[in-house]
Amino acid sequence: MTKPKILILCTGNSCRSHMAEGILRNSADDLFEIFSAGSNPKGEVHPLAIEALKEINIDISHHTSDHLDLYLNSGIHTVITVCDNAKEACPVFPNSPKSYHWSFEDPPHAMQEGESEIDAFRRIRDQIKLVFEAYVSGYRDAQ
């Protein structure tokens, strides 16, 4: 049996979508084929996204920043958007996959008072981890 394919979308495919992909792979790689892409990819994964995930023993240093068009005809079962711009830019995928929208702040622009840039990445990483691990738990419970 083939694993369902999940595509996580963000505008730049440099921070949130990669953190979500790494966390989802870590939690449920046995259940899904997992990809991430962007509507306007920046061409690189943000170094602080790599660092924030490395702190929780998830390596995304090999990820690439890809355009969502690469996945239009690849049999995606579920599309998860993690920013509002990606939700608006998301094309219609063939076979009408399930779609979820869980918006997270953009870490490079999310620093709160007294917070460093890496602290913002950690905070958003932890929010993403909470949501995606709950998704995996619910999926496993439904099987």
CA distance 29 to 80: 16
Among candidate residues 19, 45, 83, 128, the one labeled active-site is: 83
Q: Residue 124: CB partners within 8 Å, gap ≥ 6?
A: 15, 16, 19, 104, 105, 107, 110
15 carries an active-site annotation? no
Among candidate residues 7, 9, 10, 50, the one labeled active-site is: 10
- Which pair of tokens denotes residue 42? 């920046």
Among candidate residues 31, 56, 72, 90, the one labeled active-site is: 90
90 carries an active-site annotation? yes
Which amino acid is present at 49? A
**What residues act catalytically?**
10, 83, 90
